[in-house]
Chains A and B, each alone.
Chain A
Amino acid sequence: MAERGGTSGTWWQRFTALPNNSARKTIIVTLTVALVCSVLVAGSAVLLKPLQIENKETARRSHIAALSHILEERYGSQIPITLEVRLIDLASGVVVTNVDPVSYDQRRAAADPARQVMVPADQDLAGLKTRAPWAVIYIARRAGRLEMVMLPVRGRGFGSMLYGYLALGADLEHVLGLSFHEHGETPGLGALIDSQDWKRRWRGKIIRDGGIIKLGVAPGPVDPSSELARYQVDALTGATWTGMGVTNLLHYWLGPHGFGPYLAKLREGV
């Protein structure tokens, strides 16, 4: 294609005089548009990041508050529920006391090659590959008595990582609530793990049957008269993979590589 751009005038006049289909103009227009667009995308992502992080944090807090609200529903609010934050060493189950739990970023630690712990492939039910060595958990007490333990759980769903909290009752044998504050599951299908109705179904489910973890999502509807109804909740229609993901992450985090050692210590202690 002939370059018919004039040779006189300013560079802008020479540029605008180029025929639209000339190679030079094509490249200049493409590069300019790409540059301007990437600056806009990068700029908005970087500038808005602090606000977005704050929003996620607020959402996480509200889910914790909603879980501890289960206790208020049960006992009324005469005696206030107090929340205690603890940092746990997952492998040994010991409470870490020399680090402030509030400042510990579990997600960053899981991604940091210097701190992360590899999850052995044969134990990696939740599809994590790595996890943080420590976990920030919440303990709810009422008049000094332990009533609820909230454990952060994480695992792969259908198309995204699910982040949530599993709330266990005082005997550490039954579930009080399970709630996911961050996920990217399909709206109307997998995203229903966040719906009130489904969350309520977890209340009162038993974790183990003689040492074997049976808690999880059933492959379909649960027959209320069957033996499994004590351990399983109904599947979500059209969200088989999300349900399997939830079951897997529960098995991982309640198992020996997750909170198993800590829960064993806690059970001895109380």
Chain B
Amino acid sequence: MTDARTKDLLTPLFDSNPIMLQILGICSALAVTKTVATALTMSAAVICVLVLANTFVSLIRNHLPRHIRLIIQITIIATLVIVVDQVLRAVAYELSRQLSVFVGLIVTNCIILGRVEAFAMNNGVRASALDGLGNGLGYSWVLILVGGIRELLGTGKLLDVSILPTVAEGGWFEPLAIMLLAPSAFFIIGLLIWGLRSWKPGQKEAAEFAPQSVAREVEPQ
């Protein structure tokens, strides 16, 4: 792989992470991160859709009439999502029941339309596929990390294997019930963003306004 290719793949992981920097795909990141298993399944589904949507759109990008390009893009994305949903229902029924509507809602996930419109429309097939994979992985590691934290602290388990023995099972760990509720994902993602921006200060956004200092309110005599 050339440097440019590696960059397509790696930039979305940390430098331009779809969840952490662009703050996209938050809805599903809150909803499906109760357990690692659902986060993994959702990640796989999003990676599939993202890579394939980017590939197909990039293939026909030179022949897309500009005024109907969004309709065509959404049609392609929706088709891929339906196929992925059908496959999940056939091979992973219990997980697809837990994910319920959220697989179908990948259609409206801004990450996918964003990558298709911003990248695949202007780049070659291989670069687009790699960009899709990179963004998919960038989305996935956040999802899996949040899912891991929530499942571990909420139930004492990871992938249904007991890690911290809970009080109910005769151990010492008192599960944190809030971890099983959606707000906890907000807190965890917020903390992760804080951590990432401390590590890479370039991601900090400029302040929209300067807090007024108290000293200035004192009238000079």
A contacts, CB < 8 Å to B: 16, 20-22, 25-26, 29-30, 33-34, 37, 40-41, 44-45, 48, 51-52, 55-56, 58-59, 184, 187-188, 191
Contact = CB atoms under 8 A, between A and B. Distances in A.
A184 B79 CA distance: 21
B207 interface: no
A51 B101 contact: no
B100 A191 contact: yes
Given A16-B63, A34-B75, A187 B101 contact: yes
Interface string B45-56: 000000000000
Q: Which of the listed residues B66, B89, B102 has the most CB atoms from chain A within 10 Å of its own CB?
A: B89
5 contacts: A25-B63, A40-B79, A59-B97, A187-B101, A191-B100
A119 to B, nearest CB: 28
Q: Which of the listed residues B64, B79, B94, B102 has the most CB atoms from chain A within 10 Å of its own CB?
A: B79
Contacts of A52: 86, 89-90, 93
Interface residues of B, number: 30
B87 A44 contact: yes
B68 A48 contact: no
Nearest to B73: A33
A48 B100 contact: no
Contact of A20 (B63, B75, B86): B63
B159 interface: no
Contacts of B97: 59
Contact of B93 (A55, A184, A188): A55
B60 A45 contact: no
Given A16-B63, A45-B86, A187-B101, A37 B93 contact: no
A30 B93 contact: no
Contacts of A188: 31, 182
Nearest to A32: B60
Nearest to A46: B86
B103 to A, nearest CB: 11
Given A37-B79, A187-B31, A26 B68 contact: yes
A33 B76 contact: yes
Given A34-B75, A187-B101, A40 B83 contact: yes
A interface secondary structure, majority: helix
B65 interface: yes
A233 to B, nearest CB: 20
A30 B68 contact: yes
B216 interface: no
A56 B182 CA distance: 28
Interface in B176-210: 182
Contact of B75 (A16, A33, A44, A45): A33
Contact of A21 (B67, B72, B91): B67
Contacts of A34: 75
A55 B94 CA distance: 9
B24 interface: no
A33 B90 CA distance: 26
A236 to B, nearest CB: 14
Contact of B72 (A30, A55, A59): A30
A44 B31 contact: no
Nearest to A53: B90
A37 B65 contact: no
Given A20-B66, A34-B75, A184 B83 contact: no
Contact of A44 (B60, B62, B72, B83): B83
B40 interface: no
A21 B83 contact: no
B164 interface: no
Given A37-B75, A44-B82, A44-B83, A29 B89 contact: no
A21 B67 CA distance: 8
| Top 4 A-B pairs, shortest CB-CB distance | A55-B93, A51-B90, A37-B79, A48-B90
A33 B100 contact: no
B110 to A, nearest CB: 20
